[in-house]
Structure 1
Amino acid sequence: MSHISRRQFCLFTGATLASLGLGQFKIKRQAQNYGKVLAQSTPCKLALLVGINQYSSQPLRGCLNDLELQRYLLIHRFGFNPQDIYTLTDEQATRQGILEAFEEHLIKQAKPEDVVVYHYSGHGSRVLDPEPIIFEPGQEDNLNGTFVPVDSSLPTGYPEQSGTVEDIMGHTLFLLMSALPSENFTAVLDSCFSGAATRKFTVRARDGGSKVLISPQEKEYQEKWLSRLGWSREEFVSRYRQGVAKGVVLAATDPTQYAIDASLNGFYAGAFTYLLTSYLWQEDATPESAIAYAVKQIPEEFNQTPTYEVNVGSNYEDQPMYFLGSPSSEANAVITEVKGDRAEVWLGGVDLATVDQGTVFSTVDGSGQLRFVSRDGLVGEVVVEGKVEPGTLLRKEN
């Protein structure tokens, strides 16, 4: 890895892990043929993915690639219907869009037996909450963790002047997750609050601190959801302190660390998202085993320790990833388009350092072989030997 920068990841205490942000709700109807990968009708599999690179200040580079890594994995390895995956990027990821997407696509559509996945890659921050719902011991400054929508800007005159921001608090997203009808929920979080640059790394995070306050409308939105859930403040505090609201949360770091936004063999991505998704292409995993792998693979100089948390007493750490026990066959790549004797392949499950011109891939179903020609990031071009079609899974020959 080279040209490393650090994108801090906010892992708030307890249930704050359950928080994620998404942008302007937009349904993407994809007409592509994904071959033999068909979504099951029961249970329904819903995913909401967000990535923000184009912040007005402190832009990022790897978040949109994180979404593609997750999206291809869910479709081709775990059988999600492309129409049930909603991706929200850059200018779509406003505060209103984030909240609307979570409500409309997840809360209103999910049934108790459904599988729900939420992925967030973008900035986080820590801002002042003058009237915190929960006061954490030792946090006299009343700073609370937030996710940063694309339309949330620092106050005019910051840092000399204070003011409000349109961030989404971890408290708010805990409430949204609590409203989900299904326990079969997985959140993948690759973001954090702001911090200072070091000589070796650049921090990719929105600034914050005691002069940045949460907006009144964020508090009003929390009150609305407390009313909908029928919770008193005391009940909310009690639930929040117990742990994550639903399912499983996979996080890029522990609460004190930075997450890495890195240049990886010709493309940028979150180091955590890349390691997680590439592992899941090749292994039938549990949250515990997936995080254990990521911990071992993160370079020591990154000082980044991926972690997970599950709903208290659930033993979800030992359940199959995404609560889906029968994923498609293990693979390293998938065919996305075929044109004559050439094909385009997605290389999300292979170590790109081991792929050179002439590298051979074989289809999992034995229908043919493909010889690698070139690639642009994670998209490769191969010469086809045999009969193949989009959606065909591939394994790299040793």
Structure 2
Amino acid sequence: MPNFSRRRFIQFTGSALTALGLSQLKIKNQSLRYAKAIASSGNRKLALLVGINNYQNVTNLQGAITDIYLQKELLVHRFGFNPQDVLLVSDESDIKPTREGILQAFEEHLINQAKPGDTVVYHFSGHGSQVLETDSSLDSNLNSTFVPSDRLIEQAGQQSTVSDITGKTLFLLMSAIKTDNLTVVLDSCYSGGGKRGNLTVRSIEGGEDYLSSSLEQEYQQKWLSKLKLSPQELAQRRKNSIAKGVVIASARENQIAAEAHLDGFVTGAFTYLMTQYLWQETNPGRIDNIIANVSRSINNSFSSNQKPEFEVLAGSDNDAQPIYFSDRSVPPAEAVITQVMVI
């Protein structure tokens, strides 16, 4: 496996660049041409990347923020996203990954801005869990959740309520986005937390003893009204398919989504290997081929029982579309020059 330093976006000195025949003026002109190429593309490309390492009431993670930095550099330098259209929500950003912060960012950055034909990416790296969903039409009465940094747990008789963002809410938010070119990447799971060898699992305890909070239920009702959907219509849509676009999950049901502790850094095993693969492949091909290759890499590199999966909107040809619904803007690479230092 290549070292992480090869994938970092490294700084070259002016003397080294001169030795390569690249003057500062040439570098500046090439950068300007690249920026113009991005700006001249017709439709907009928006991304919201959420990474949570620090939690108030549950075990912390270490690699979620690394994930979203890897994803951002890939989207910007390989797929032509404008950096100003890529919003990071993390412990280190101005917008914190609280429940309110995540939902508000999704509404304002994606739902309010995306137009038909635009490209949208939503990435979540953090803890996952499950809650009991009494009105579910799915095979299981358990609904997957995404745990915000300020997760609140309250006792409700023999059960507990949690302020997690549920899969049902994510379905509603996806439905509200005005473009079909939507990719959701979820690097979390709900198969039980803790450590597995040299891997940290991105999951915390959940199940039938946990219910969605009243805050979550009220938020869902707000979007049901906005989308003019009845609870029954929503249940049927969820049973039939995802809301739109493509959803990529880092692990199957009852599998772990692991963090890998590598040489000097921690990252999500799935996000690291997928971004690495997309950087290096000249023609990654269909999404099923991409996921199959990444799955093999996870098993070979980390010996993890983790098999990523994906789902596309039923009846669509989204599985035949380019990854992220976006043609690659630059050739394959292992690094990108983002800053020049003169010594």
**Interval of TM-score (by shorter of Structure 1 and Structure 2):** 0.7 to 0.9
Q: Give the Cα–Cα distance (whole angstroms) in 1 for the partners of residues 196 and 209 of structure 2.
A: 26
Question: Does 1:212 find its partner at 2:210?
Answer: yes
Runs of 4 or more consecutive aligned structure 1 residues displaced over 4 Å after TM superposition = 33-36, 196-199
CA 1:199/1:167 → structure 2, altered by over 3 Å: closer, same or farther? closer
Task: Give the counterpart of 1:179 among 159, 176, 180.
Answer: 176
CA 1:107/1:34 → structure 2, altered by over 3 Å: closer, same or farther? farther
Alignment-derived partner of residue 145 in structure 1: 144
Deviation at residue 36 of structure 1 after TM alignment: 4.5
- 1:28-62: CA deviations, max 9, x gaps? xxxxx965532234210000000000112310010
Q: Give the Cα–Cα distance (whole angstroms) in 2 for the partners of residues 44 and 196 of structure 1.
A: 38
Cα contact 2:137–2:236 (8 A) shared by 1: no
Q: Give the Cα–Cα distance (whole angstroms) in 1 for the partners of residues 101 and 341 of structure 2.
A: 38
Deviation at residue 265 of structure 1 after TM alignment: 2.7
Q: Give the Cα–Cα distance (whole angstroms) in 2 for the partners of residues 68 and 36 of structure 1.
A: 24
Cα contact 2:128–2:203 (8 A) shared by 1: yes
Alignment-derived partner of residue 317 in structure 1: 319
Q: How does 1:1-398 map to 2 (within 5 A)?
A: 36-38=33-35, 39-40=38-39, 41-56=41-56, 57-90=58-91, 92-129=96-133, 132-137=134-139, 139=140, 142-155=141-154, 162-193=159-190, 195=192, 197=194, 200=197, 202-283=200-281, 284-285=283-284, 286-299=286-299, 301-340=303-342
Q: Give the Cα–Cα distance (whole angstroms) in 2 for the partners of residues 252 and 304 of structure 1.
A: 7
Gaps of at least 5 residues in structure 1 are 2-32, 342-398
Q: Give the Cα–Cα distance (whole angstroms) in 1 for the partners of residues 299 and 107 of structure 2.
A: 38
Which protein has the bigger strand share?
1
CA 1:181/1:172 → structure 2, altered by over 3 Å: closer, same or farther? same
Cα contact 1:58–1:204 (8 A) shared by 2: no
Cα contact 1:50–1:89 (8 A) shared by 2: yes
Cα contact 2:80–2:328 (8 A) shared by 1: no
User: The residue matched to 1:328 in structure 2 has which SS?
Assistant: coil
Q: Give the Cα–Cα distance (whole angstroms) in 1 for the partners of residues 255 and 196 of structure 2.
A: 16
User: The residue matched to 1:78 in structure 2 has which SS?
Assistant: coil
Which protein has the bigger helix share?
2
User: The residue matched to 1:334 in structure 2 has which SS?
Assistant: coil
Q: Give the Cα–Cα distance (whole angstroms) in 1 for the partners of residues 100 and 260 of structure 2.
A: 29
Alignment-derived partner of residue 6 in structure 1: none
Letter of the aligned partner of 2:49 in structure 1? L
- 1:52-89: CA deviations, max 9, x gaps? 00112310010000001100001111111110000000
Q: Give the Cα–Cα distance (whole angstroms) in 1 for the partners of residues 62 and 295 of structure 2.
A: 23
Q: Give the Cα–Cα distance (whole angstroms) in 2 for the partners of residues 219 and 42 of structure 1.
A: 38
Say what the alpha-carbon RMSD is for the aligned residues: 2.2
Q: Give the Cα–Cα distance (whole angstroms) in 2 for the partners of residues 235 and 196 of structure 1.
A: 34
- TM-score w.r.t. the length of structure 1 is 0.71
Deviation at residue 326 of structure 1 after TM alignment: 4.2
Letter of the aligned partner of 1:251 in structure 2? A
Deviation at residue 253 of structure 1 after TM alignment: 1.0
Deviation at residue 120 of structure 1 after TM alignment: 0.5
CA 1:224/1:196 → structure 2, altered by over 3 Å: closer, same or farther? closer
Judge which range, 68-77 or 307-316, deviates more.
307-316
Deviation at residue 245 of structure 1 after TM alignment: 0.8
Give the number of equivalent residue pairs. Answer: 303
Q: Give the Cα–Cα distance (whole angstroms) in 2 for the partners of residues 202 and 280 of structure 1.
A: 24
Q: Give the Cα–Cα distance (whole angstroms) in 2 for the partners of residues 308 and 215 of structure 1.
A: 28
User: The residue matched to 1:335 in structure 2 has which SS?
Assistant: coil
- 1:347-380: CA deviations, max 9, x gaps? xxxxxxxxxxxxxxxxxxxxxxxxxxxxxxxxxx
